[in-house]
Amino acid sequence: METMQDANGDIAGMEPFEPWYTAQVVGATKDGDVIKYELKTKKLDESNKEVNVIREYEDFQWLEHCLVTNNDVSGLILPPLPPKPGVSASGAEAKSKKQLGSGSKALIGDEFHKDCRGLEKYLQLVLKHELLGKEESLGKFLVDKEAPMRTKLKKNILSNLSKAVGEARKGNHKDIDDTFQKERDNCNDKLTLTKEASDNFNKMVYIQLRLEGAYSHLSTMLNLGGGVLEGPSASANNMLVKFSHALDDYKHGITVFSANDENTLGFTLDLYARYQESEKEMLYRRTCKMIDLETATKNLEKAKPQKRDAAEDVKKDAEAAFDKISDVAKKEIVKYHRERVLAFQKALILYAEAKVKTARDTYALLARDLKKLKEMDSGDSAADDPQTSPVVYTPSKPF
């Protein structure tokens, strides 16, 4: 795709766009079966006006619908909207068993902070987009106190099935442009690999959560066994209690490892697994335009004299539509690859930094616990040295 950018690596013909707003999803509350998100928006003009609004997930869906229907997005790689979070008790139970194991009776609480971050990232991607960032419905979504009136979006199972069949048939249609054919092949490979990487990374995080639960259980049992601190077994019981404290410190380290993994590399893998699907959909739309052009060309060749002018007009329209989507797609692909590489670079750096910092903090806590255990033989009472506990690493700017 080198021919799609200039010598400076910029996208040819695309003016730099400065977002008109900044948006943060600062919190979420549950009202029955509905999750309400609080948005903090700042308009980037002379006024610098800030406003807080409340939105539901369906409002985000309606915004996405408006962005798609009000603009020609056929050649765009659209920012992916995160899936709707579950709110039912059965959903929470299934999620807990998936993460903590089928035998676990513990339930994972609401994780609204993850939903907020995903929706905030979606808004940031839309806001900085050269076309979508100028959409009027986006401004109303961000600053109007009342949520926009929305029509319930229907999900047609038959249309989804026919679309899947069409993708399977047209997706294998050879492209007339070798560059786009290569991009389609690479996109399919990346989609599979990114999804697998995201799923396997999540499995690793889930194993850490199960390990955390096991250490917590063991620490509790040791505390129960070391509850009697008098008599001939006092020394052994005291050692059990001290050891349980060490297990608690290590359990805390595992908790922070898991949270940091999700906040850094896990977040980016999940985002770009969905983003890769968005690129695939864009390439499919272009393939459909290409097939339309090929069909129009064949019809023109077979057209009778009295229908030739009409067939030629159809071919010209199909050619114009195909050329337009191809030009836009070239710019979008260059921009997408550049942002994807930068995002993974940043995620890997943050992931490594968080790993190193958490490991050092956990080591310091365990070294202190070991010191206390050794000093028990000499009868010394070790004072609790102030130590920095591992902390959850939250990037200042979501990537």
Q: How confident is the model at residue 104, as a pLDDT?
A: 66
Name the percent of the chain lying above pLDDT 90: 59
> pLDDT at position 187, please?
96
- Residues 55 and 37: beta-carbon distance below 8 Å: yes
Q: How confident is the model at residue 366 (pLDDT cuts 50, 70, 90)?
A: very high
pLDDT on residue 292: 94
Per-residue pLDDT averaged across 287-291, rounded?
94
What pLDDT is recorded for position 229? 54
pLDDT reported for residue 90: 66
Mean per-residue pLDDT for 169-186?
A: 88
Q: What is the tens place of the pLDDT at every residue in 93-102?
A: 677 667 766 7
Residues linked to residue 51 through DSSP beta bridges, in sequence order: 41
| Global confidence as pTM | 0.84
More confident of the two residues 387 and 300: 300
Model confidence pLDDT, tens digit, residues 109-135:
678 889 999 999 999 999 999 999 999
Say if residue 318's pLDDT is above 60: yes
pLDDT for position 165: 46
Domains in the chain (CATH in brackets) are 13-95+109-150 (3.30.1520.10), 191-399 (1.20.1270.60)
Ranges 296-310, 355-369, 377-391: which has the least confidence: 377-391
Name the band, by pLDDT with cuts 50, 70 and 90, for residue 22: very high
Q: Name the band, by pLDDT with cuts 50, 70 and 90, for residue 54.
A: very high
Letter for the amino acid at 50?
E
β-pair type (50-56, 34-43):
antiparallel
Instruction: Evaluate if residue 162 carries a pLDDT over 50.
Output: no
Q: What is the mean pLDDT of residues 365-369?
A: 92
C-alpha to C-alpha distance for 249 and 241, rounded to whole angstroms: 13
Point out the least confidently predicted range of 175-179, 326-330, 371-375: 371-375
pLDDT (tens digit per residue) in 185-228: 999 999 999 999 999 999 999 999 889 888 988 888 888 765 55
Model confidence at 397, pLDDT cuts 50, 70, 90, reads very low
CA atoms within 13 A on the CB side of 365: 23
pLDDT value, residue 396: 46
Report the pLDDT value the prediction gives residue 62, as an integer from 0 to 100.
93
Q: What is the pLDDT of residue 240?
A: 83
pLDDT for position 158: 42
Q: In the prediction, which pLDDT does 154 show?
A: 62
For position 239, what pLDDT does the model report?
Answer: 82
Q: What is the pLDDT of residue 343?
A: 96
Q: How far apart are CA 398 and CA 288, in angstroms?
A: 35
> How many CA atoms lie within 13 Å of 366's alpha carbon, on the beta-carbon side?
13
Cα 357 from Cα 257, distance rounded (Å): 10
For 61-89, how does the pLDDT look when each residue is reduced to its tens digit (9 = 90+)?
Answer: 999 999 999 999 999 999 999 999 877 66
Spatial CB neighbours of 200, under 8 Å, sequence gap ≥ 6: none
